[in-house]
Amino acid sequence: MKTDRRKQAGAFTLVEIMVALTIFGLVLAAIYSSWTAILRASKVGLDAAARVQRERIAVHTLEDALSSAISFAGDVEHYGFVTENGNQASLSFVASLPESFPRGGKFGKFNVRRVTFSVESGPNYARQLVLRQNLILMDMDIDEQQHPLVLARNVQEFSLGFWDLKQNDWVDEWPQTNQLPKWVKFTLRLGFPNQQNSYAQTQEAVTRVVSLPAISVPARWQGRPGG
């Protein structure tokens, strides 16, 4: 009988087992909550870093293209400087692009190309800034039309300004398609999702002023010598 009592005294009761399981479950829940919070914070940080990097790439691409712009006043059909402001802002011109310019390998040695930056609707109706390119004497191919290079997503603002020498001030429109402005100013502001998966929150706007080193070659210079 004494041996049986020792065995009974060394066993766990059902209540003790239930309490132990409850404590173990609480510990697991705490670990899971902490791990989930860490993963969520890590994702937020990675997303923020990706947005900043994409914004830098977009700004750098715009600066590279504008600083390489060229134009011939006597051939507006191919060299026109075409702009539009508003919700569907766009900027299109011809440039002598560096070899490192995005998708440069697709066009080989033909570095003089028309570049078109435009804001368009993307997935989930979010606006995105895209880049298309084509050779100046050729139409844009289907791949560029249907699959442009996405420079920035969730665009909240993309606005353009042009320095008018006559007014000595910035203007929002540039109707002189056969001329290049002295300076071009652009502002880019991106948004990012909040808890409601909307894009009300925005990053600080980035504004750059780019000096166009070239001028439009006058039409009278394009004819034959003495013509």
Tell me, yes or no, whether 146 lies in a domain: yes
Q: Is the pLDDT of residue 78 over 80?
A: yes
Please choose, from the candidates 76, 37, 71, the residue with its C-alpha nearest in 3D space to the C-alpha of residue 182: 71
Q: Is the pLDDT of residue 226 over 50?
A: no
The amino acid at 204? E
3-state secondary structure of 146: helix
- Mean pLDDT calculated for residue range 134-152: 92
Tell me, yes or no, whether 213 lies in a domain: yes
Which are the contacts of 180, defined by CB distance < 8 A and separation ≥ 6? 69, 71, 81, 93, 212, 214, 215, 216
Q: Is the pLDDT of residue 201 over 90?
A: no
State which of 33-37, 45-49, 144-148, 215-219 shows the largest mean pLDDT.
144-148
Q: Percent of the chain having pLDDT more than 70?
A: 79
pLDDT of the residue at 33: 81
Tell me, yes or no, whether 31 lies in a domain: no
More confident residue, 139 or 48: 139
Q: How would you class 203 by CB atoms within 10 Å of its CB: exposed for 0-12, middle for 13-18, buried for 19 or more?
A: middle
* Domain count within the chain: 1
What residue numbers bound the domain in which 172 lies?
47-219
pLDDT of the residue at 122: 85
**Please, what is the Cα angle at 32 between 31 and 35, to 5 degrees?**
85
Q: Is the pLDDT of residue 43 over 50?
A: yes
The pLDDT confidence band at residue 3, using thresholds 50, 70 and 90, is low
Tell me, yes or no, whether 32 lies in a domain: no
Tell me, yes or no, whether 38 lies in a domain: no
Which are the contacts of 11, defined by CB distance < 8 A and separation ≥ 6? none
Which single residue is written with the structure tokens 């702009």? 83
Q: Percent of the chain having pLDDT more than 90?
A: 46
- Mean pLDDT calculated for residue range 36-60: 75
Tell me, yes or no, whether 18 lies in a domain: no
For residue 133, what are its two tokens?
């390119």
Rounded distance between C-alpha atoms, residue 111 and residue 76, angstroms: 19
The β-bridge relationship of strands 112-121 and 149-153 is: unpaired
pLDDT of the residue at 148: 95
Q: Is the pLDDT of residue 197 over 50?
A: no
Tell me, yes or no, whether 39 lies in a domain: no
Rounded distance between C-alpha atoms, residue 225 and residue 221, angstroms: 8
Q: Is the pLDDT of residue 20 over 60?
A: yes
Tell me, yes or no, whether 6 lies in a domain: no
Of 91-105, 115-129, 147-161, 188-202, least confident by mean pLDDT is 188-202
For residue 105, what are its two tokens?
């390998």
Q: What digits encode the pLDDT tens for the residues 171-194?
A: 999 998 888 999 999 999 988 665
- Mean pLDDT calculated for residue range 22-49: 77
